[in-house]
Structure formats: C-alpha cells, structure tokens
C-alpha cells in the first residue's frame, strides 16, 4: 500500500469499497433531505403566518436566529440527551438548523410581493386562499427555493458530524480515516463525496430556483 501515492490509493479504495461508499452516500443524503423536508413542512407555513402577523415575525425569526448560533456539535449533544444515539438525533438537529433559512426566506418572499398586485387580486374577487395560492406563492417561490437551497447545503455539512452519535453517513468514512494508519486516502474518500454532494445539490436547486423565478417565466412566454 505504501508504494502507491495518495491518488492511486484513492482509486484502489473506491474500486474495493465502491458499494459501501455508495450506501453511505445515499444514507448521508437521505438524512439531510429528511431534516430539510420537515423544516420545510414546518417553516413555510410558519413563514406565511408571520408575514400575515408582523408582530410575530420578530419573535419567530429571533428564536430561529438563536437556534442558529448554537454550535452544531453542542446542538447534537443536547438533542442526544433527549432522543438518544442514532439517526433520529441527527435528523432533528438538521431540522432545527434548516428552520431559519426557510422561515426567513418565506417571510421575505411574501413581504416582497407588490401590494398593488394583491389589490388587483382582491379587486378580481379572489378569496384569501386564492390570493395566497395563485398570487403570493408563485411570486415568492424562487425566494423560498433559495432558502431551501441554503438549508440543504447546511444540512449536508451537519450530517457529516452526525457520525459522533452513531448515525452513519460519509462522516463514518472520514472518522475511520483519522484512525487508520495511512488514512489520508480514506479521509479523502469520505470528504470528496461530501463536498461533491453539497456542490451538486446547490447547483440543482439553483437551477430550480431560476426556473421558478417569475422573471424567467415572463421571458419565456414573451418569446
């Protein structure tokens, strides 16, 4: 093994443990996705709610801000006290961190909708639900998507330290690399896919965000 350089070692590692890396990759991705998904389920309605009742907005965003300032390893340990070891703890941690970007972006997306458009909607006799569903949400969708994109990239990073509570994922490979004798290649084998996952999901969601942008749609229909 010692006669190979680190990149040859890396290739050797992938050729022998490819399936294992793949399974940890999908596990890592699923943990991040679940956390963000729950955060979206809770965060988007909450964001809409606080845009309607602006008195609540400072409190809710303040709380989310406070959550964000707790270091992730500390958060993981605090939640571990309640939920114990394992994957649920990591999903709960990811959920809490993903809340702020999603709530904040939903809120600012809803706020940025022009009051005159809302007025004309009302003038057409739309109900409140129709206004939300047919006017406000489509107009703020790309901003909300930007929040989800932020949250997912954040989540992938947090999931990597989930290995400390036994959740698995690519962090497992990184930690094993630090324990092994010539672990350089193993550390890379865990770190590169993690970085790649973050970059690719950022690109894909960025593309989606552009597609959802009302300006993009207008440009397309006017052609």
Partner 1 sequence: MKKIVRLFKAALLLLVSTLVLSGCGFPGLNSSANDTVRIAAQNTTEQQIMAYMLSDLIQHDTNLKTTLINNLGSGSVSFQAVKNGNADISAIRYSGTDLTTIFNQEAIKNPKVATRKVREIYRDKYHMTYFPSYGFADTYAFMVTGKLARQAHLNTVSDLKKLAPNMTVGADQIWINRKGDGYDGFIRSYGFQFQKVYPMQIGLVYSAVQSGKMNAVLGYSTDGRIKSYDLKVLKDNKHFFPPYDASPLATNKILKKHPELKNVFLKLKGQISLSTMQELNAEVDNQLIEPQVVAHRFLVQHHYFDGKGDQ
Query: Could you tell me the maximum CA-CA distance found in the chain, to the nearest angstrom?
Result: 77
Q: Segment contacting partner 1 (CB under 8 A): 39-47, 117-125, 131-139, 208-216?
A: 39-47
Distance (Å, whole) CA 200 – CA 153: 10
Is the distance from CB of 107 to CB of 57 less than 8 angstroms?
Answer: yes
The total of other beta-carbon atoms located within 10 Å of residue 196's CB is 13
Site string for partner 1, 186-205 (x = CB under 8 A): x-------------------
Distance (Å, whole) CA 100 – CA 40: 10
- In eight-state DSSP terms, residue 82 is H
- Whole-number minimum distance, CB 34 to partner 1, in Å? 5
- Whole-number minimum distance, CB 121 to partner 1, in Å? 19
- In eight-state DSSP terms, residue 194 is H
Residues 78-137 interacting with partner 1 (rule: CB under 8 A): 84-88, 91-92
Q: Report the first-to-last Cα separation within the chain, whole angstroms.
A: 60
With CB under 8 A as the contact rule, the residue among 5, 7, 22, 52 that binds partner 1 is 52
- Whole-number minimum distance, CB 140 to partner 1, in Å? 18
* Binding region for partner 1 (CB under 8 A): 1, 9, 12-13, 16-17, 19-20, 26-27, 30-31, 34, 38, 41-42, 45-46, 49, 52-53, 84-88, 91-92, 163-164, 166, 168, 172-173, 175-176, 178-181, 185-186
């Amino acid at each position: 093994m010692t006669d190979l350089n680190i990149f040859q070692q890396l290739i050797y590692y992938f050729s022998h443990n490819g399936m294992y890396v793949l399974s940890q990759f999908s596990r890592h991705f699923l943990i991040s996705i679940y956390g963000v998904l729950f955060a979206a389920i809770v965060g988007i309605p909450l964001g809409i709610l606080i845009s309607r009742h602006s008195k609540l907005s400072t409190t809710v965003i303040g709380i989310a801000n406070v959550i964000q300032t707790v270091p992730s390893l500390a958060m993981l340990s605090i939640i571990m006290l309640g939920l114990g070891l394992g994957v649920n703890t990591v999903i709960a941690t990811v959920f809490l961190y993903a809340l702020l970007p999603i709530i904040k972006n939903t809120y600012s997306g809803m706020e940025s909708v022009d009051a005159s458009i809302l007025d004309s909607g009302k003038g057409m006799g739309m109900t409140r639900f129709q206004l939300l569903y047919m006017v406000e949400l489509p107009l703020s969708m790309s901003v909300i998507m930007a929040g989800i994109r932020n949250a997912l990239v954040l989540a992938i990073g947090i999931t990597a330290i989930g290995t400390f509570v036994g959740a698995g994922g690519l962090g497992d490979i990184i930690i094993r690399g630090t324990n092994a004798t010539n672990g350089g290649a193993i550390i890379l084998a865990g770190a590169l896919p993690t970085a790649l996952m973050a970059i690719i999901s950022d690109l894909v969601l960025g593309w989606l965000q552009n597609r959802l942008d009302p300006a993009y749609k207008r440009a397309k229909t006017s052609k």
